Structure formats: C-alpha cells, structure tokens
Amino acid sequence: MCANEKQISLLMSKMKQKFLETRRQSEKLIQNLEIEDFSVQPADFVSPPKWHLAHSTWFFEQFVLKDFDIHYKLFNADYAYLFNSYYNNVGERVLRPNRGLMTRPTVNDVLQYRKYVTTNVEKLLDETNKKELLDVVEIGINHEQQHQELLAYDIKYILGNQATQPTIQLDLLLEEETQKQEFIAIEEGVYTIGHQKDSFCFDNELGVHKTYIQPFEISNKLITNGEYMAFIESGGYKNFNLWHADGWDFINENQISAPMYWHDIEGVYHYYTYNGFLPVDKNKPLTHISYFEAYAYAQWAGMRLPTEFEWEVASKYFNWGQLWEWTSSAYLPYPNFKTAKGALGEYNGKFMVNQQVLRGASIATAKNHKRHTYRNFFQTDMRWLFSGVRLVK
Amino acid sequence: MCANEKQISLLMSKMKQKFLETRRQSEKLIQNLEIEDFSVQPADFVSPPKWHLAHSTWFFEQFVLKDFDIHYKLFNADYAYLFNSYYNNVGERVLRPNRGLMTRPTVNDVLQYRKYVTTNVEKLLDETNKKELLDVVEIGINHEQQHQELLAYDIKYILGNQATQPTIQLDLLLEEETQKQEFIAIEEGVYTIGHQKDSFCFDNELGVHKTYIQPFEISNKLITNGEYMAFIESGGYKNFNLWHADGWDFINENQISAPMYWHDIEGVYHYYTYNGFLPVDKNKPLTHISYFEAYAYAQWAGMRLPTEFEWEVASKYFNWGQLWEWTSSAYLPYPNFKTAKGALGEYNGKFMVNQQVLRGASIATAKNHKRHTYRNFFQTDMRWLFSGVRLVK
Amino acid sequence: MCANEKQISLLMSKMKQKFLETRRQSEKLIQNLEIEDFSVQPADFVSPPKWHLAHSTWFFEQFVLKDFDIHYKLFNADYAYLFNSYYNNVGERVLRPNRGLMTRPTVNDVLQYRKYVTTNVEKLLDETNKKELLDVVEIGINHEQQHQELLAYDIKYILGNQATQPTIQLDLLLEEETQKQEFIAIEEGVYTIGHQKDSFCFDNELGVHKTYIQPFEISNKLITNGEYMAFIESGGYKNFNLWHADGWDFINENQISAPMYWHDIEGVYHYYTYNGFLPVDKNKPLTHISYFEAYAYAQWAGMRLPTEFEWEVASKYFNWGQLWEWTSSAYLPYPNFKTAKGALGEYNGKFMVNQQVLRGASIATAKNHKRHTYRNFFQTDMRWLFSGVRLVK
Amino acid sequence: MCANEKQISLLMSKMKQKFLETRRQSEKLIQNLEIEDFSVQPADFVSPPKWHLAHSTWFFEQFVLKDFDIHYKLFNADYAYLFNSYYNNVGERVLRPNRGLMTRPTVNDVLQYRKYVTTNVEKLLDETNKKELLDVVEIGINHEQQHQELLAYDIKYILGNQATQPTIQLDLLLEEETQKQEFIAIEEGVYTIGHQKDSFCFDNELGVHKTYIQPFEISNKLITNGEYMAFIESGGYKNFNLWHADGWDFINENQISAPMYWHDIEGVYHYYTYNGFLPVDKNKPLTHISYFEAYAYAQWAGMRLPTEFEWEVASKYFNWGQLWEWTSSAYLPYPNFKTAKGALGEYNGKFMVNQQVLRGASIATAKNHKRHTYRNFFQTDMRWLFSGVRLVK
C-alpha cells in the first residue's frame, strides 16, 4: 500500500463514520413515533416520515450503489419509482403514488431497506478506493441531513395538528435570547461573498464574487415571542399598510393572526411544542412565521430585514444557529453560477425563482451543516420551518 | 322469575350472541391489514378502517352504555368528539379532526376501546332486563353491519389504488351467473310496498303503501363482465346519446372508460380484487359501476333499469344477493314516512335527495341484512360499492 | 286548392301569427336593457341575454330553414358554432367560446340575425305546405318561450347583483295571496297521469299511465313572505334537523340565511325586484328559494311538499300560475317514456337525474305554456327561478 | 404678478397641456371598440377597458379635486367605491363589485364622468397656483399612462381570445430587429444605480446607491420570433432541464407550447395581432412570453438574462424601447427605499415580493415614460404584456 492509497483509505474510513452516524441520526429522530405517524401527508409541503427515510436511502442506492458497485442487486425495483422525488421517469404501473396514501411498503419494509442499503454502502466504502466515491457519498450524507431537518418539521406538523396534540420528546429546544440588545455597525464597501474553502458546500454557494454593501447596523439578537406579542396586540395583523399585497391576501385567506402552532386560550397564547402544549415563553426567539410576517414585523418596528450579503458579512459578530433567519434577498443564482451535471444538477438551480433566502441554521440542523455561506430558501408563505427574524436599521 | 322475565332474559341472551358475533365479524375483516392501512382516507367517500372500528363502538357507548348503564365510565372523553359522524356538537379543542390525518389514537388504542365497550355491553345485557335496551342494541348491531360493508369497500379502495396493489385475502368472492337468460313477466296492478313484518327494519322501509305497477318483464340474471365488454368495445363510453348530461360530464371530467379497478393491459382487461390483479372474468357479474354507467348500459341494450317497486314485487322470482342493484328510482320518502325521534332520526331522512335507490344485497352484506324491502342508496357517481345491473324490458 | 290544402294553409297562417308574436315577445323583454347588460354571465347557470336571443334564432335556422328551405343561405357560418347549446359538434377554430366573454358578434349583429331568420321563416310558412314543418316550428316556438322565461330570470340576476341595483321596469308582478287558507282533500285511488290531448306537449309529459295516490289534503294558497319570515325568525336556517344533509351543507357553504335577493337592512328585509329595491311585501308569495329551503320550510311547518302526481290530480281545485311549485318528486321518466329521434331527442331525457320536478307556471311563463301536465325541473340548489311553495298535510 | 407667480403659472399651463394630451390619448385607444368590448374580464389579471377609463379618472377626483378644489362636487358618490382599486374602504352596499360583471354604470356614463373630471381639473389648473398641485397632477398623469399600457394589453387579450378574432386597428407595431448581432462588453467595477435627475420618477427608482458589477457582454438585439422557433423545434418546451421547477409546472398545467397568441395552423405558426391573424414574422422581436420562458430560452442558448443593474449600466450602448425586457432580478427595494406617505405610498412597495423586474419600455408605453432607470415588474407567469428577451454572456 503506497502513501496515496493509505490516505484514501483513511478518508474512506472517516467518511464511513460520518455516513453511519448520519444514518443512525435519522433513525434516532423517528424512534418515538407510532407506526401510524409515518404515512400521513397533512399538507402538500409535508412528506410522510416513511418517505424521508426511504427517499434518502434511495439516493444512496441510485447514485452510490448502482454507479460504484457492479454486483449490487436492487432491494426492490419498485422503490426507485416510489421514492424518487424527481418523477421524470415514467413508471410502468398504472397508478401514480400519492405519498400520503402509500400504506405499502410498510414502515418495517422501509427500515429493512435502510439496513440493506446502509450495509452495502458500508461494505463499498471498506472495499473501494475510488476518490470519486467520496464526493458522491458526501453529497448523500448532506442530502440525508437536509431531510433530517425536514423530518423534524414534518413530525411537528403531523402531531401538532392532531386534535389530541401528542408529545414526542424530541430534544430540539430553543434557548432564551437573554443577551443585551445591541446593534453592530458594518462599514460600507466592497465585500467578497460565497464559499471559499476546500470543504463541502452546495453549488448555490459558489460563484464567489464581490458585492457593494452600504453601511448598516444589525441586531445581535433574534426577535423574541414577547416582542412579537406587542406587534400582535398593537393590531399588526389588521393593518394592511404593514404588509405586502400578497402577504395581506395570504393572512386573510388563511385567517392567520398569530404564528403557526399558537392558540389563544382565554387570552393567553399557548403553542404546541414537541414536548407538549405550553404557554408561549416570552424570552425565547419567535419562530414559525412566514416571510410575509417577518417583513410586516420589521415594517412595524421601523426597521428592515438584512440582505443575505449583509448577513454573511456581519454574521461573525453575533451568535446564530438557533433559527433560520429570513433575509430580504430573493433566491437567485450568484454571478457565474454553474449547475452541476446530470441528475445532481437538479438540486438547486431550478428552484431559483419566487423563493426567499434564509441564512444561518436551526436547532434541527446537523452540526456540519452550519456555515455562514449556507443559502437556505423557502417560499414566502412557509411557516412550518424553524424560521426567525433579525432586524437591521 | 316470572314467565315474562324469563322471556326477556332469553331475548337478552340471544341478542348478546348476535352482538358478540357482529363485533367479532368486524375484527375478522381487518385481521390481515397492516397497521399502516388503518389510517388513510384516499377519497372523501372513504373512511379509514380505524374510524369504522371506533365509530361503530362509539355508537354503542353513546346510545347504549351512556343511556342504560348509570355506572358506566367513558373510555376516553375525546373519543366521542373524534368518532362521532354527526359533528353537530362543537368540541372544545382548537382543531377539527381530519379522518385520514388522525394518527392518534393508534390502532391499538382503538382495539382496546372496542374491547372495553364490548365487555361493558355484554355485561349490561347479562344484568339488565329493560326491553327498550333490546331495540337500541339491535340498531347498534345493524349499524355496525352497515359499517362492515363500507369497511369492505374502503379496504378494497385503499389497497386497490396503491402502486403495489397488495392482496388481502378477504373471502368475498362473486360467483358466475350461469343460469339461462330468461325474462320474468309481472302483471299490471296495485301492489303493496314496504316492510310488513315484526322483525327489524330501518325507518325508510316503513310507510307501507300501495303503488300501481304497469306490466313489465325482468331479467333473471345480472349483467356480466363479458356483456359489459361488448358495450365498451362498441364505443359505449364515447356515444353521448346513451348518457345523462351529468353522466357524460362525469365520465369525461374523470376520464372514465371502464368500471372502477379495471385496467387495460396490452388489450386485455384486468381488475384488482382482494386476491390480486387478475384478468377480468367474463362470466362473473359486472360490478363497480356508477348509476350513470348502469343507465348508459341499459340505453345501449335497448332496455331499462327496474324501479325499486318493480324490483320489490318481482324479487321473489329470481336469485339476488351477489350485488346491490341500481334501480331507476330516486331515493325519496315513502308516503307517511316518519323520522325517528332524536339523534337516531338523523339516520335516513336527511339523505333523501339526489341519491338513487339500490335493492338487494351484496357479498359484503351481513346475512340478516338481506331482505327484499331493504332500501340502500348512493349518489349517482359512486363506484366503489358492490353495485350491479339487472335489466327490464 | 282542395279542402285539405286550404286547411293546411290556414294552419300555416295561424302558426305564422304565433311565431311572429313569440319573436316579438323576446324582443320586448330586452327593450329596456343597455348594450352592456347583454353579454355578461355572472354565474354558470346564467346565460347572457344576447346568447338567448341568438340561440333561439339558431334553433329555427338549424331545424327549420336548413331542413325545409333548399335555397336558404346561412346568415353567418360561425353562428352555428357560437350559439349551439349542445357543443357536440367540434368547430374548426382554436378557441372555445365562453358565453360571458363573447363580445362579438355584437348585440346589433345578433338583432340583424334575428330579423334575417324571422323573415325567412315567415316566408317559408307562406310558401310551404308540408305538414311536418308545422311540428318543427311549434317546437321552435315552445323552445323560444322557454328561453324567454330564462331570460327573465337572467336579467333579474344580472341587474339584481350589481352594486347599483338598476331597475328595468319589466311588467312581471306577483299578486298577493289573499284568499282564505283552506286545505282541499283528495281521495285515495288510482289516477291517470300525463298529457292526453292532441295539443302540443313535451316528450316528458307522455307515457300516460296510472298511479296510486294515498289520501291527502293540499293548500289552496302558496306560502307567503310573511309566513317565511316566521320560519327565519324562529331560527329555521340554524336548525340542522329541518334540512337535508346536502341542504345543510349548501346553506352553510354559501352563507345563505334568506331567499335570494333578500337583504336585511337594519332589521327590515328588503328585496331586489325589476322595479327596484323595496321592503319585502308580507302578503305576496314567497319566491327565489331552492328546493332545500322549500323542504326545510315544510319540515318546520310540520307538513310536506306534494308529489308531482298529487299536484296534477289536485290542481283543478286551486288557482296556480304565479310561481313554479317545488314538488317532492325527483325528475324521472314516466313509464313507457320514449326519447324523440335525432337532435330534438336531447331535449329532456338526458336531464332526468338529480333534479326535482316543479309544477304549475310563473308570471314569466308564456300563456300557452301553462298546462297542468307540464313538468318543469331544476337542480335542488337553484334559486334564481320563480319558484314557490305549496304544502300538503 | 411677480416673477415667481409667472413661473408657476407657466408650469401650470404646461402641466395642463400634458394632462389634456394624456386624457385624449386614453380616449384614442378605445375609439374603435364596440360597447360590448368594454365590460368583460376574461382573466383575473385583465381589467375591463371601462374600468381603466373610470379608475384613472377617479384617481384625479380623489387626489386632485377633493384635496385642492373646495367647491368640487362628486360626479357620483358610488364611483369612488366602484372604481377604487384599493378596496380598503368598506362600502355601504351589500354587494361587492365584480369588475367583469359590472354592466352599470354604462360606457356612456363613464365617458361623461371623464369629461366632468377633465373639465374640473383643467379649470383648477387655470385657477390655482399651489405648487403641490403640480406634483399630484403629474403623478395622476403617470398613473393614467400606466393604465394606457395595461389597456393596450387588455384590449388585445379580450379580442385575441374571441372565437371570431376581430381586429381593432391599433397603431402599435413592432419593427424588425435587423441590426447585425453584436455583444457589448461592460467592464467590472462599482456603478451607481437609480434615478438621479430632478425630473419625475416613481419611488421605486430612488434610493440611489452603488453596486458592484462583474464583467459581462450584452446583446445589441432582442431575440426574434425566428430564433424562438428554433428553440421550440428543438424541443425546448419538452426538456425539463431548461426550466425552473415552477416554470415546468406552469407550462404543463396550462398546456403551453408556444408564446401567447401563437397557434400552429397546419405546421405554420400564426399569431393574433391588433390588425388580424397573421403568419408569425421571423424577423420581429419575440413577445408575449413569461419570465419562465425567457429563462428557459436563455438556458437553451447557453447564456443568461441580464440583472436589472447590468441592464441600467449597459443600456446607453444599444437601442431599446420596443419591448419590456425580462431581467434576472427579483423586484426588491433599493437600499434606503422609503415608501411615500398616505394612499400614494401603496403604489410600489407592497408589490416587492415574488415578482421579476423588466427594464426598458414597449411600443405601448407613453413617450415620457421611457427612461433607463424605470423599474417595471410582473409575476413570473404573466404573458399578456409586451415582454421580450435580451441575452448576456
């Protein structure tokens, strides 16, 4: 074994650890669910937990095992059809799968599928020394970590909208924002934006480029529930001057007058959490608000949301990572953005329209996912994610 | 114990046997389901199997135990809210239950609920000698039997619309219609319609009355799959002259060109059955057709469907009971129809508009449900039931 | 000219008078409209006045002139496509006409079209002596008269739902129901139903047959606005026990709490009439209620609606003709009903499902349309017609 | 009269000329319409021509006459309710106006309204010397000019979607793009963006600021119909790799396979123009494409759309003004953007979400509306505007 081979072998071994840890983490998230909780889809933007578990597995089967293991035998040929999120291959069967109505394969079948694929990838990493394999497995790990975060949102939505509001005891707790309120001043000038290290990043963070930033001051704290209650009490949801026209339609058509999961019980706001139905904690950061609500709050406060560039430049000066922070930037390609080749190229570019960038990370984000160049993005009416608000003046 | 008491005691004992048998039959129907199959609602007209099991139990709790057992303690106060089909009591909770998204209570919880209520009703029948109790338990039994039939339809719909089309091995098999084709002539005259015995019937069968019937001839056989294939092949689904205007819209908007569960696989019709995906058997009776299709077929054949009165008068001259038979009669109250008092009065009368009567029974109908005065009814576009066609000329 | 020829000539001449009178009547109905009022379609069940004028003209062009006048030249080949209500011929043009968006041909174009066709039919009646022509022209006249009644409903709907509620001064006024309340008793027995004269009738009135009627008593009066106010005030729209399940959904989904055109202005009910916005007259008969409302009112009053057979038998004993009267009979074919051949056969049979029969006539019905065997029919949620309620006990 | 007064008087006089010219221009646009064409609303994004005429008049009544003329008497108090686009005042009437169903007031009423308001504003400009008046009248003129452009789009949509495709002879003709294809290189650097002159601009052009631009090359020509045909013929509408995910859904759900108004007549593309239905001219610039299509075309061509900043910087080097040019920039506020106070502040800011910026002007744009800082904006699926494509590499 020459030096280079040793090095690759070491990288393979490290990647295997990360891979197994990631797989275990997904299974840990669902350990307290009942079988019944795995198959429902209470809203279009929610996927059933079973689907996340199977889809992130299919990704390894499709892009790792089928490409790198010539002896690999598919666990079940139907699964590629059922758990592919892209749908651009037309299957032979007459009926299209509807995620929330797919009771078969069962949860147990899917867990068997996970085990089978995990074991085969593990074996492959032990036996192969192609460097390209590392790249694809790393993408697969990051992909599964993204689905872990969605899984956390979806579990909350599935349980939090049940009449019986069951608890799940997931250890994803927000901490109070107790630091003293300060505004950090950033100087005007040309700054460089984008991921500049060797480490993993998504294609949307590349296209490193310069941008001109005007002077601004940014808060060291997230908006808290208490602060948002003041907005509600002063009639924030009833004053159309604070809202985008689309936002005003959104809250009125959906009769929204508080963040998602909040309920007014005889004059006291309560919210659903993984650990139960509790009075809202005024010192904890506000979450589960849409971009429309984040914007209206900023208008009411006489301030504004940061651009994603301002956020990237200023983020070293404050603590972040409890919640994804809505920015005032639409999700657009960076200058010189290049889509990756092949199916992996469908990952980001095709979503760069009519969405808004969020920066930071949340309590549900995998540790190695946290980086200050990371560009998350959602439609402006999404509320089930762990979103938050930081203001600029 | 006097003679009268003995007699009541005997009736109680018989009712208990019927009751326990009915409860067991529901549980037998679902014995091969996976937990995942119990909670989905793939269409508005389908209820999740879990809901049927709980709702038929709630009925006994609400109308039997709460009224006749002063010591009865509710299994769970929430269940009255979650499994009441009437919804006219407003619950305290913020969120309304959506049957297909209700993952809690779990299947196991519901089976515990069944056991608890079954045991309590059993005990009550052992210990009570109020005659009124018998009437309510009998209604509860008939109610649960109706839900058993719906359960059979819903299980088929849930599994038959899955991409993987799993089998369930339910023992509900249609037999071939092999008798020689004959038409039975019935004479013109005034006939008496309605349930005239002492035995149980629903309120919609009462209002015994006379009706004048013109002379007619009715087939001794149901239409078979082979006969319906001839209709399809001759362009029946493409000739608007055969259809009601609403029927024509229905098949075009829903792109319907064959009975439900039929798929054309390279020129050969197959259908989904509880026992798998099989080529259509030409000698078996046609089923899973809407009223619109039954009517169009009759138009094509140059005949017509019987009225429900013709069917009632003629039914003693032919075999029936494999399939519910669409009649040309709209579902309307009989002369002198009286709605029962109280919540039980919501049973039938309020549905007497925009539906069509079916007569007979099906392979999924409980034995003691079969009687020639029984009036079943469904909307004209329903296809998931075991419906069939018998012609008149 | 022989005797027979003379007779036909006389019949032709009489038919011409009826024809011209009918054409004039349509034009009289629209004489006070503004050009803008002719092209809108504020609801699916409403047709623009321009469309009625053109469609009833197309009917004569298609079934009279094209078939009987070999020299006839189409006014405009597009019109057959634009004003055919059947849509079963596919036009060459790319775009399908949407009645309410069709600004061209203009109202003036359509009036020219009417004149051209009227003149040609008139000429044909002068010059032809084929007896078959008489039948088709008679159908055309009756067809146009039906559209006159719809025109009256549609004009009211178009203007009555405008913010400015303009008046039109149509001379269609209801009279008070001031006769003393009586109930007319009809004896049990076998009665003959259907049109038995030589005169014109629609195919749905044929199939003369016997029916058995139980004894009943029918009101000599229509329900008045004042009586209906009592129903509203006693909570009729809020008591689900009075309603069909579909009716309850209908009034709740559409937030209906009074007849169409009624508005509660500071505690006093007003309604829109052709002559303006006025306080509701308590002594005039109630109108613009759906079948669901008619049924709920009857339930509340402890009575019921008549069947169409009861109505036909009893109608000689009371005054009728102000309003179409909802019956409890679904619209079904009579025994031995035969559909007419060809396109005219699409007239009635294909609508015999999910509708309810109304009997009588209304202030907007042409005189010669009034006969006690006439079967009108509408869906159970229609309210823009001149409907009324007569009770049976 | 002092020097200052003279100057104001002169400005008033000039403004009056602009005002009268603008009013006449609106009336010129609609001179060939039939009365029937004025009241329809064939799509949500279309307003009836009558509404545009009345709404731009209401604007002068509301913000000029009511504020500056103490003797002014409203033409009709209802009109403020009917022709206010903001709807945030609740009217007294029961019924909300639906623009396409409002047949009254008539076209003639609205033209009287225009005349009355025009005369009163004219008189006011003659008699007043308040400088603030000039600002509001100027906004009113610009507002009416914007509606003139929408009027041109809406007239085309109303007529171009009729089965009879009538012509209107509007003098808005595109010219061929015959110049030689060149790409203009712009250097990297910090540029200043925004309106910097004293002349009129909208609030969204303010917030003059610096931006850093990377080097780029921009085409001197718009994409032509001929070039777009090559895209279609090579399967551009069928290759999902070229499209945004939302764009792919949009074209599939709406079955879009060519620009709006194009129809394939036996293999030859034709389009509807104001002057009739003609074969598509290959040398004229492509128009009536959504942002989604503009983006897909650029992907196919291996280039991209310019940002709005690139466009503003480069626009002095090429001819523009035939068509609004889709940019890759989302519509967002400039740094330091301030919303105007009061109702006029609703003009722009509230639309700054989920829309895309277009730069330039079109053949339907008023002359004085053309400036290189103008920011037009529409949703990404809008196609009825005069949109075009210019590429960057």
- The tens digit of pLDDT for each residue in B179-238 reads 999 999 999 999 999 999 889 998 899 989 999 999 999 999 999 999 999 999 999 999
C373 three-state secondary structure: coil
- How near does any CA of chain A get to the CA of B41, in Å? 7
Interface contact B161-A81, CB threshold 8 A: no
Neighbours of chain B (3+ CB pairs under 8 A): A, C
DSSP B339-380: PPSSGGGGSSGGG-SS-EEEEE--TTS-GGG--TT--EEE-T
CA closest to C165 among chain D residues:
D104
- How near does any CA of chain A get to the CA of B260, in Å? 13
Say what the pLDDT of residue B95 is. Answer: 40
Two structure tokens written together for B389: 């066609």
The domain made up of B3-160 has a fold known as Four Helix Bundle (Hemerythrin (Met), subunit A) (1.20.120)
Q: How confident is the model at residue C87 (pLDDT cuts 50, 70, 90)?
A: very low
CA-CA distance, D165 to C104, in Å (whole number)?
9
Contact C247, C231 (CB under 8 A): no
- How near does any CA of chain D get to the CA of A350, in Å? 4
pLDDT tens string C264-311: 988 999 999 999 899 999 999 999 999 999 999 999 999 999 999 999
CA closest to C166 among chain D residues:
D104
Which residue(s) pair with B196 in the sheet?
Answer: none
> Does residue D32 surpass a pLDDT of 70?
yes
- Please tell me if residue C278 touches chain D, with a CB cutoff of 8 Å: no
Q: Which of B211, B346, B380 sits opposite C354 (nearest CB)?
A: B380
D chain contacts of residue A345, beta-carbon cutoff 8 Å: 241
> Does residue D87 surpass a pLDDT of 50?
no
User: Whole-prediction pTM value?
Assistant: 0.94
Say what the pLDDT of residue A342 is. Answer: 60
- Choose, out of B212, B240, B346, the residue to mutate when testing the contact with C (most C CBs < 10 Å): B212
CA closest to A263 among chain B residues:
B94
Q: Which of A36, A98, A101 sits opposite B35 (nearest CB)?
A: A36
Q: How confident is the model at residue C319 (pLDDT cuts 50, 70, 90)?
A: very high
Beta strand pairing call for A209-213 and D216-219: unpaired
CA-CA distance, A324 to A377, in Å (whole number)?
10
> Does residue A226 surpass a pLDDT of 90?
yes
Nearest to B330 by CA among B288, B387, B378: B378
Interface contact B163-A36, CB threshold 8 A: no
CA closest to A345 among chain D residues:
D241
Q: Tell me which residues of chain D, numbers 310 to 329, contact chain A at a CB-CB cutoff of 8 Å.
A: 328-329
- Residues A75-100 have a mean pLDDT of 65
Two structure tokens written together for B56: 């038929």
D chain contacts of residue C263, beta-carbon cutoff 8 Å: 94
Say what the pLDDT of residue D344 is. Answer: 65
Angle at C204 between CA B335 and CA C129, to 5 degrees: 155
- Please tell me if residue B166 touches chain A, with a CB cutoff of 8 Å: yes
Q: Which of C103, C159, C163 sits opposite D36 (nearest CB)?
A: C103
Q: Which of A35, A102, A161 sits opposite B35 (nearest CB)?
A: A35
- Please tell me if residue A164 touches chain B, with a CB cutoff of 8 Å: yes
A chain contacts of residue D308, beta-carbon cutoff 8 Å: none
> Does residue B96 surpass a pLDDT of 60?
no
Q: Cα Rg for chain B, rounded, in angstroms? A: 22
In sequence order, which residues have a C-beta less than 8 Å from that of residue B239 and are 6 or more positions away? B300
Contact B305, B295 (CB under 8 A): yes
Say what the pLDDT of residue A46 is. Answer: 93
Residues D227, D230, D232, D237, CA torsion sign: negative
Query: How far, rounded to the nearest angstrom, does the alpha carbon of residue D201 sit from its chain's CA centroid?
Result: 15
Chains C and A, touching by 3 or more CB pairs within 8 angstroms: no
pLDDT tens string D2-15: 768 888 899 999 99
Q: Tell me which residues of chain D, numbers 213 to 272, contact chain C at a CB-CB cutoff of 8 Å.
A: 263
Max avg pLDDT among A160-164, D290-294, D338-342: D290-294
pLDDT tens string C132-185: 999 999 999 999 999 999 999 999 999 999 888 899 988 899 999 989 999 999
Q: Where in chain C is the domain with CATH 3.90.1580.10?
A: 183-388
pLDDT tens string B227-284: 999 999 999 999 999 999 999 999 999 999 999 999 998 899 999 999 989 999 999 9
Buried b (16+ CB within 10 A) or exposed e, A242-275: bbbbbbbebbeeeebebbbbbbeeeeebbbbbbe
CA closest to A188 among chain D residues:
D210
pLDDT tens string D210-249: 999 999 999 999 999 999 999 999 999 999 999 999 999 9
Q: How confident is the model at residue D347 (pLDDT cuts 50, 70, 90)?
A: low
B chain contacts of residue C381, beta-carbon cutoff 8 Å: none
A chain contacts of residue B106, beta-carbon cutoff 8 Å: 34-36
C37 three-state secondary structure: helix
Q: Tell me which residues of chain C, numbers 102 to 141, contact chain D at a CB-CB cutoff of 8 Å.
A: 102-107
> Does residue D254 surpass a pLDDT of 60?
yes
Share of chain D above pLDDT 90, in %: 79
D168 three-state secondary structure: coil
In sequence order, which residues have a C-beta less than 8 Å from that of residue B100 and are 6 or more positions away? A40, A100, B39, B40, B41, B42, B48
Which residue(s) pair with D284 in the sheet?
Answer: none
Q: Which of A36, A106, A163 sits opposite B93 (nearest CB)?
A: A163
The chain-wide mean pLDDT, for chain A, equals 92
CA-CA distance, B235 to B257, in Å (whole number)?
10
Cα-Cα end-to-end distance for chain C: 60
A chain contacts of residue B107, beta-carbon cutoff 8 Å: 35-36
Interface contact D96-C42, CB threshold 8 A: no
- Residues A104-109 have a mean pLDDT of 96
pLDDT tens string D258-316: 999 999 988 999 999 999 899 999 999 999 999 999 999 999 999 999 999 999 999 99
Contact C319, C227 (CB under 8 A): no
Nearest to C359 by CA among C392, C328, C393: C328
Say what the pLDDT of residue D90 is. Answer: 33
CA-CA distance, D345 to D351, in Å (whole number)?
11
Say what the pLDDT of residue C85 is. Answer: 67
- Residues A209-227 have a mean pLDDT of 97
> Does residue C340 surpass a pLDDT of 90?
no
Q: Which of C214, C243, C354 sits opposite B335 (nearest CB)?
A: C214
Share of chain A above pLDDT 90, in %: 79
In sequence order, which residues have a C-beta less than 8 Å from that of residue A372 and are 6 or more positions away? A312, A315, A316, A359
Neighbours of chain C (3+ CB pairs under 8 A): B, D
D43 three-state secondary structure: coil
DSSP D296-351: HHHHHHT-BPPPHHHHHHHGGGS---SSEEEEEEE--PPTT--PPSSGGGGSSGGG
- Residues C317-342 have a mean pLDDT of 91
Q: How confident is the model at residue D346 (pLDDT cuts 50, 70, 90)?
A: low
C chain contacts of residue B290, beta-carbon cutoff 8 Å: none
- Residues D34-41 have a mean pLDDT of 95
Q: How confident is the model at residue B90 (pLDDT cuts 50, 70, 90)?
A: very low
> Does residue D39 surpass a pLDDT of 70?
yes
- How near does any CA of chain C get to the CA of B252, in Å? 13
> Does residue B344 surpass a pLDDT of 70?
no
The chain-wide mean pLDDT, for chain C, equals 92
Say what the pLDDT of residue A346 is. Answer: 58
Contact D213, D188 (CB under 8 A): yes
| Residue B108: count of CB within 10 angstroms of its CB | 12
- Residues A330-358 have a mean pLDDT of 84
CA-CA distance, A269 to A226, in Å (whole number)?
11
- Please tell me if residue C81 touches chain D, with a CB cutoff of 8 Å: yes
CA-CA distance, A153 to A274, in Å (whole number)?
10
Beta strand pairing call for C387-388 and C324-330: parallel
pLDDT tens string B36-54: 999 999 998 999 999 999 9
Interface contact D100-C103, CB threshold 8 A: no
Q: Tell me if the bond preceding D49 is cis, omega within 30° of 0.
A: no
Percent helix, strand, coil in chain D (nearest 5)? 45, 15, 45
Contact A34, B106 (CB under 8 A): yes
Say what the pLDDT of residue B271 is. Answer: 95
Burial (0-12, 13-18, 19+ Cβ within 10 Å), A351:
middle
Say what the pLDDT of residue A94 is. Answer: 37
Contact D302, D194 (CB under 8 A): no
- How near does any CA of chain D get to the CA of A208, in Å? 11
Say which amino acid occupies A302. G
Q: Where are the alpha helices (DSSP H) in chain C?
A: 3-29, 49-60, 66-68, 77-83, 107-127, 131-160, 225-233, 245-253, 291-300, 308-314
Say which amino acid occupies D135. D
CA-CA distance, C387 to C290, in Å (whole number)?
8
Q: Which of C78, C107, C162 sits opposite D102 (nearest CB)?
A: C162
CA-CA distance, B289 to B223, in Å (whole number)?
11
CA closest to D329 among chain A residues:
A332
Q: Where in chain D is the domain with CATH 1.20.120.450?
A: 3-160
Q: How confident is the model at residue A165 (pLDDT cuts 50, 70, 90)?
A: confident
- Choose, out of C30, C35, C257, the residue to mutate when testing the contact with D (most D CBs < 10 Å): C35
* Complete edge-to-edge strand list for the sheet that includes strand D324-330: D376-378, D356-360, D324-330, D387-388
Query: Torsion angle, CA of A221/A226/A228/A231, rounded to 10 degrees?
Result: -130
ipTM of the complex: 0.94
- Residues B342-354 have a mean pLDDT of 77
Say what the pLDDT of residue C89 is. Answer: 38
The domain made up of D183-388 has a fold known as paralog of FGE (formylglycine-generating enzyme) (3.90.1580)
